[in-house]
Amino acid sequence: MRAFVITAPGEAGVREVEPPEPRPGEVIVAVERVGVCGTDMELFSGTMSYLHTGQAAYPLRIGHEWAGAVCATGDGVDPSWLGRRVTGDTMLGCGRCARCAAGRGHVCADRYEIGIRGGRPGALAGRLPVPVTALHPLPEPVGPALGALVEPGGNAMRAVRSAELSAGERLLVLGPGTIGLLVAQIAAARGVEVHLLGLTASSLAFARSIGFEHVWTRETLPGLRYDAVVDASNAPGLPALAVDLVEPGRRVVFVGLAGTPSLVDSRAVALKDVTVVGVLGASAGLAETVELYASGAVDPRPLVAATVALDEVAAVLAGRRRPDWGDAPKIHVDPRR
């Protein structure tokens, strides 16, 4: 089958590889749609931290935001999975340690991450092997594009939950990229007043185009009470700003990652009695995200600028975008093309 393979920093292409066979407890998914995210770009450029800690190594087959249909099942798997449209968890714990037993498999020390960590192949290929325990069925209203947006949506869902806001309260989201906009959409669907802080005119204009009125730069941000702040950016200076801006006694959520360390003054956290929450992965937010998309209360499909073929992925990872794609932040791949 055809698969997208990264062989070294900045070097990648489509190769013919052996198709997977299902192991016991696994299914094989015929992939229909895959999202490209910032982690994929870091793996391509060589800057992703796992490459420097030994948790990932070239050659790499990326792709962890995906949707498809089960086309084969391994021993011990209910054959009723065949033909079902699914997405799945990226974080695959060992299933044996205390963290996995406590439901925290996404932080298992021995976890695999599909398309990212431990050599587990990703979805930028014709077929993807997945443990049946990681699958989430997709109902009819959740087509390929929505299905491939479940994983980033699960991260956003966890961030919104962690903010602990009620309808009518005010949320500030730092970074109007895919995750930030998903946070904004989910929070708005819950009746929260959403404000977005961005950097570029194009990203701010896009946020306005999908219905967000309160969109600011650092210079124009009004001095309001922000009942929670979610940092969905990759800017090392914004975590400290989030702590500075949040209402005392409330919550800051970090779901974005900078390429260099971020400095936060713990005195500010303590003296404001702020709760700081970090979010890693979508695991605990996937099922609710599927239900939310199926209900129609949130439709993130406008966030997808284009759907490209497998042989266009290297250009996307290098940051090259066609002008006709517009300013939507997400690029999808149809590996069948």
pLDDT, position 68: 98
Average pLDDT value over all residues in the chain: 97
Q: Is 199 left (phi over 0), alpha (psi -120 to 50) or beta?
A: alpha
Domains of the chain and any CATH numbers? 2-149+300-334 (3.90.180.10), 154-278 (3.40.50.720)
Q: Give per-residue pLDDT as tens, 252-287.
A: 999 999 989 999 999 999 999 999 999 999 999 999
DSSP string, 243-270: HHHEEEEEEEEE----SS-----HHHHH
Q: Please name which of 226, 165, 234 lies closest in space to residue 195, comparing C-alpha atoms.
A: 226
Q: Give per-residue pLDDT as tens, 13-31.
A: 999 999 999 999 999 999 9
pLDDT, position 142: 98
Using pLDDT thresholds of 50, 70 and 90, give the confidence band for residue 186. very high
What stretches of the chain adopt beta strand conformation (E)? 2-8, 11-16, 26-36, 65-73, 85-88, 91-92, 112-113, 127-131, 135-137, 170-174, 193-197, 214-216, 226-231, 246-254, 275-278, 304-309, 330-334
Q: Where are the alpha helices (DSSP H) in 63-120?
A: 98-101
Cα distance between residue 12 and residue 190, in whole Å: 42
Q: What is the identity of the amino acid at 161?
A: R
Q: Give per-residue pLDDT as tens, 298-327.
A: 999 999 999 999 999 999 999 999 999 999
CB atoms within 10 A of CB 78: 9
C-beta separation of 239 from 256 below 8 A: no
% of the chain residues with pLDDT over 90? 100
β-bridge partners, 226: 246
Nearest 5°: the CA angle 275, 281, 282 is 100
Q: Please name the helix (run of DSSP H) or strand (run of DSSP E) that holds residue 184, with its range, or none.
A: helix 178-189
C-beta separation of 174 from 232 below 8 A: yes
pLDDT, position 109: 97
pLDDT, position 205: 97
pLDDT, position 223: 97
Using pLDDT thresholds of 50, 70 and 90, give the confidence band for residue 211. very high
Q: Give per-residue pLDDT as tens, 92-144.
A: 999 999 999 999 999 999 999 999 999 999 999 999 999 999 999 999 999 99
With a CB cutoff of 8 Å and minimum separation 6, the contacts of 120 are 92, 112, 113, 114
C-beta separation of 182 from 158 below 8 A: no
